[in-house]
Amino acid sequence: MTVSDKQDFPVAQARRYLEPGPVVLLSCRHGGEHDIMTLGWHTILAFQPSLVGLMISGGNHSHRLIRDSGICGINVPSADMVDTVCRIGNTTGREIDKFDAFGLTATEAEHVDVPLIGECHACFECRLHDDTLVAGYDFFVFEIVKAHVATTPPVPEMLHYTGNGVFRLSRETLERRALFRPELLP
Amino acid sequence: MTVSDKQDFPVAQARRYLEPGPVVLLSCRHGGEHDIMTLGWHTILAFQPSLVGLMISGGNHSHRLIRDSGICGINVPSADMVDTVCRIGNTTGREIDKFDAFGLTATEAEHVDVPLIGECHACFECRLHDDTLVAGYDFFVFEIVKAHVATTPPVPEMLHYTGNGVFRLSRETLERRALFRPELLP
């Protein structure tokens, strides 16, 4: 089901969805081709500009499309998409169109020419910022230039991959604001 | 409480604990000083060698100790350590000795000269592998050279930080091996 109530979200706060470390879906388009891949190897690098590091293994069909276009979408699936996430990660865009095969809705980004995934809770439009470590580590530094996020819940239940076909679910919330220095709280 | 039943663990499988994206505690020692800091900005980069990328902000007292020594420990706390994790992240090693202040047990690493945190479920000894992106992004590539992991449970309940004093807990497990290609399963 497409999440239709997404709103603009401050790119400097993307950490709310990415810092917990969920599995994400990268979407891309280049030269008439598009693709989706799963990714668990990512980290926030800065708030402003909003930078994120992605290790996109060269074995993925998406790798070349993203390297050649310098753009991608980071889409955060909620936990109820687990079977689709597994199927995306166990097929290749060399053989199938993953939007069609898995019934996903391509929605257009505003600032970069990539399809975003309508069914995902949060979608981030990204532009390549630094490719210094691509040759050695397949590690890309992207800037998040636009964020679209569903209005509820504040953070969805997300999937965290441990390898070996096993995920952890981040369902419970633990609030500890009283232990934080005021300058670390918005 | 010190986790005393830790065993050697294959460094190539560190992803089991780090890929889910938990908050970790970095431990370090240099020139007669030691320190601990919290870190949520990390990613696995490779299995073999076992590489991990850490964004260690220059504002942390640990930053200089780790940069100058080229070594650190990555310690994975279980969710019941949440209050200690918050206190470590809201104090500075310039003013206090965090092992003493928070009653943590320093255990010696085998391959690098850093204290590990006995109370943590998993401890990884790390040596600097690539500092290309340190100047621009405070991003260090470390090799995990030795891993010590508690024998049970297979994966502890871990803390995932969303910012704003709020954590998610990864408590539930979801197994989907039937949807994976055999070559992706050990």
Best mutation site among A168, A169, A172, A181 for testing chain B: the one with the most B CBs within 10 Å?
A: A168
Of A16, A83, A162, the CB nearest to B19: A162
Q: A170, A18, A42, A120: which is closest to B173 by C-alpha?
A: A170
Interface test with B, best of A80, A141, A170, A177 (most B CBs within 10 A): A170
From CA A152, how far away is CA A162, in angstroms rounded? 27
Per the CB < 8 A criterion, the answer to whether A79 and A159 are in contact is: yes
In a mutagenesis test of the A interface, which of B41, B81, B92 is the best target, namely the one with the most A β-carbons within 10 Å?
A: B41
Cα of A2 to nearest chain B Cα, Å: 23
B172 and A174 within 8 Å at the Cβ level: the answer is: no
Q: Compare CB distances from B170 to A19, A45, A160 and report the shortest one's residue.
A: A160
User: pLDDT (tens digit, 0 to 9) for every residue of chain A, 186 residues total?
Assistant: 677 689 999 999 999 999 999 999 999 999 999 999 999 999 999 999 999 999 999 999 999 999 999 999 999 999 999 999 999 999 999 999 999 999 999 999 999 999 999 999 999 999 999 999 999 999 999 999 999 999 988 889 999 999 999 999 999 999 999 999 999 898
Check residue B180 and report its DSSP letter: S
Query: Residues A41, A54: contact at Cβ < 8 Å?
Result: yes
- Token representation of residue B119: 């109370």
B166-175 sheet: strands from edge to edge: A158-161, A166-175, B166-175, B158-161
Cis peptide before B153 (omega within 30 of 0): yes
Contact B44/A53, CB-based, under 8 Å?
A: no
Q: How far is B88 from chain A (nearest CA, A)?
A: 10
CB atoms A176 and B41 under 8 Å: no
Q: Do A163 and B55 touch (CB under 8 A)?
A: no
- Asked if B117 contacts B73 with a C-beta cutoff of 8 angstroms, the reply is yes
**pLDDT at position B63 over 90:** yes
Alpha-carbon distance of A108 to A121, in angstroms, equals: 15
pTM value?
A: 0.97
Given the structure tokens 């047990």, which residue do they identify? Answer: B105
- The set of residues, in sequence order, having a beta carbon less than 8 Å from that of B162 and lying 6+ positions away, is A15, A16, A17, A19, A20, A155, B168
With CB atoms and an 8 Å threshold, state whether A40 touches B22.
no
Cα–Cα nearest to B17, from B98, B102, B115, B124: B124
Which of A46, A165, A180 lies nearest to residue B86, judging by beta carbons? A180
Query: Which tens digit of pLDDT belongs to each residue from B142-184?
Result: 999 999 999 988 889 999 999 999 999 999 999 999 999 999 8
How many CA atoms within 13 Å lie on the side-chain side of B88? Answer: 26
In single-letter form, the type of residue at position B137 comes to Y
Contact A162 B15 (CB under 8 A): yes
Strands (E), chain A: 6-9, 24-30, 33-39, 42-46, 51-55, 71-76, 106-108, 115-117, 122-130, 139-150, 158-161, 166-175
- In this prediction, residue B32 carries a pLDDT of 94
Q: Which residues in chain A have Cβ-Cβ distances shorter than 8 Å to B22?
A: 21
Residues 6+ apart with CB under 8 A from B54: B26, B39, B41, B42, B72, B74, B139, B140, B142
CA distance A33 to chain B (A): 24
Q: Is the peptide bond before A153 cis (omega within 30 degrees of 0)?
A: yes
Q: Do residues B39 and B26 make contact, with C-beta atoms less than 8 angstroms apart?
A: yes
In the block, tokens 């079977």 appear at A83
How many of the other CB atoms lie within 10 Å of CB of B5?
A: 9
pLDDT band (50, 70, 90) for residue B102: very high
